[in-house]
Amino acid sequence: MSGDIRNLAAAARSAVPALAVASGGQKNQALCGMADGLVAARPQLLAANAADVAAAQRAGHPTAFVDRLTLTEQRIAAMARGVRQIADLPDPVGEIPGMWRRPNGLLVGRMRVPLGVIGIIYESRPNVTADAAALCLKSGNAVVLRGGSEALGTNRAIADVLSEAVAAAGLPKGALAVVPSADRAVVKEMLSLHGLIDLIIPRGGEGLIRAVREGSQIPVIAHDKGLCHTYVDRAADLAMAEAIVVNAKAERPGVCNAMETLLVHAAIAPAFLPRGAVRLAEAGVELRGCPQARAIVPAMAPATDADWDTEYLGLILSVRVVASFEDAVAHIARHGSGLAEAIVTADHATAMRFLREVDAGAVFVNASTRFTDGYEFGMGAEMGISTQKLHARGPMGLIALTCEKFIVLGSGQIRDSRT
C-alpha cells in the first residue's frame, strides 16, 4: 500500500518536465476531452456512484453527507461545464509580465512556471476530482488526488475518464492520479513524500485541514475557517447596511465567506439595530448580542465569550456594539480568521483606514463578504480560499498553482567583483 502511493507520486514527478512545457493548446485539448468524456461516460459514472451511495447509506452516514456524495445527470453536466470554463481561462504558464534592462545590458524578468506535483486531499464530493484535476493540468502541474474513502469508486471512474483525455492529448499519463485506496494510513504516507510532492492542498472541514496541517512534511495551503465580520460604521448608510448585513449572513449561511459577527458603532446602534434585527429575524436569523446590543434589542439572546470565536455556518449571528472604529478593528484583529472583513461607511477616510488597517485575505468597503470568491473577483475557477499569508492569500486560482522564476538574457556579461 505504502509502495502504491510512492509509485503514483514518482510517476507524477516524472510527468513534470513534459507538463511544464506543454502548450496551452495541448492542455486545452486534454481539458475539452475531459469534459466530453465526463458527459459521454454518464452511465458508468452513475453506476459507480450508485454503489458508493448505497454503501454510504448502509454505513449510516447522515443525509447531508450522502447528498454531497451523490452524482446526478445535472451534477455531471455541471462538472463538465466547470472543466470547460477552466479551458477557457488564459494559460498562466510562460507569462513574462515584464523585463527590465540593467546598466550592463542584461535583460532581467520573471517567467511564470508550474510548481510541479500538487497533492489534493478532500472529502467525499466527487466534483472536486474533476475540478482540482482541471486546475492543476491547466497550470501545468501533475496532481495526486486523494478523496474521501466513501467516494473511491466514483473517483476512480472519474479519473479513468480524465486520464484517457490526458493520454489522448499526448500528455504523460502520470500527470493525473487518484490514490486507489480507502486506507486512511495512505494519507499519512502521502504527507511524508516531500521531494515528490511540492504542495498539499486540503479541501474540506476544519478537522480535515487541521489533521493535514499537523501531519504534513510538505508545505500546505489551506483556509482554517471563515470567521467574517461586517462593521457598520457611525457614518453608514442605514439602508445599504441592512441589505449588506442580511446578504452576508443569510444568503447562504453554510459557506466560509458568510458573516458570523456583526459589529455596530455605538452612535448608530440605536438607529440601526432595531430595524436590522427585524430584517435579520425575517431571514430566519437568531441573534446573540452583547449587553449594549441587548439593551437596544432586548429580544436578542445574550452572547457568551465563545460566540465571538464561533463559525456558526448557519442562521445564527453574534452582535456587538463597539465604542469606536478602533474597537471594531481590534475586535476583528482578535477574533477574525483572516478570510474576509467588511465595513459599511459613507465616510471616505474611514473606508481608507479600514482597507489599510484590517489584515485579511479580502477587505471590503460597502459590499457583502459573500463576494469572496474567484469567480466573483473575475479570476475564474478557484481551488479554495487561503487564509494564510505565504504564497497565496484569498481566493486561489490558477496563479496560486504557479511560481515565477527569474530569467536573464545576456550577451556575454560577466561580473566584476570591484563593482
Residues 335-374 that bind its own copies (CB under 8 A): 351, 355-357, 359-368, 370-372
| 261 belongs to the binding site for its own copies (CB under 8 A) | no
* Interface with its own copies (CB under 8 A), residue from 199, 280, 321, 328: 199
**What SS3 class is residue 165?**
helix
| 94 belongs to the binding site for its own copies (CB under 8 A) | yes
Which residue lies nearer to its own copies by CB, 114 or 204? 114
Angle at 97 between CA 95 and CA 102, to 5 degrees: 120
What binding mask, one character per residue, do residues 117-136 give for its own copies by CB under 8 A, x or -? Answer: --------------------
Residues 302/294, Cβ–Cβ less than 8 Å: yes
Report d(CA 49, CA 46) in Å as an integer.
5
Number of residues that bind its own copies (CB under 8 A): 67
Reported as type and span, the H/E element at residue 335 is: helix 325-335
Residues 137/17, Cβ–Cβ less than 8 Å: no
Report d(CA 39, CA 33) in Å as an integer.
10
Q: Provide the grid cell at 181.
A: 485506496
* Interface with its own copies (CB under 8 A), residue from 4, 206, 237, 311: 237
Residues 355/363, Cβ–Cβ less than 8 Å: yes
| 88 belongs to the binding site for its own copies (CB under 8 A) | no
Beta-carbon contacts of residue 287 (< 8 Å; ≥ 6 apart): 277, 280, 281, 293, 297, 299, 300, 301, 316, 317, 318, 319
Residues 224/389, Cβ–Cβ less than 8 Å: no
Which residue lies nearer to its own copies by CB, 152 or 258? 258
Report d(CA 80, CA 158) in Å as an integer.
11
Least Å distance, CB 393 to its own copies, is 5
Residues 6-25 that bind its own copies (CB under 8 A): 17, 20-21
| 251 belongs to the binding site for its own copies (CB under 8 A) | yes
Which residue lies nearer to its own copies by CB, 201 or 296? 201
| 412 belongs to the binding site for its own copies (CB under 8 A) | yes
* Interface with its own copies (CB under 8 A), residue from 10, 111, 266, 295: 111
Report d(CA 407, CA 112) in Å as an integer.
10
* Interface with its own copies (CB under 8 A), residue from 252, 278, 301, 324: 252
**What SS3 class is residue 185?**
helix
Q: Considering only CA atoms, which of 6, 404, 401 is closest in space to residue 196?
A: 6
Q: Applying CB under 8 A, which part among 26-34, 72-80, 153-161, 404-412 lies near its own copies?
A: 404-412
| 394 belongs to the binding site for its own copies (CB under 8 A) | yes
The single residue listed with the C-alpha cell 451523490 is 70
Q: Applying CB under 8 A, which part among 43-51, 74-82, 226-234, 402-410 lies near its own copies?
A: 402-410
| 113 belongs to the binding site for its own copies (CB under 8 A) | yes
Q: Applying CB under 8 A, which part among 164-172, 246-254, 260-268, 302-310 lies near its own copies?
A: 246-254
Q: Which residues are near its own copies by CB under 8 A?
A: 17, 20-21, 94, 100, 102, 106, 108, 111, 113, 115-116, 198-199, 219, 221, 237, 240, 243-244, 246-248, 251-252, 333, 351, 355-357, 359-368, 370-372, 376-378, 389-391, 393-395, 403-417
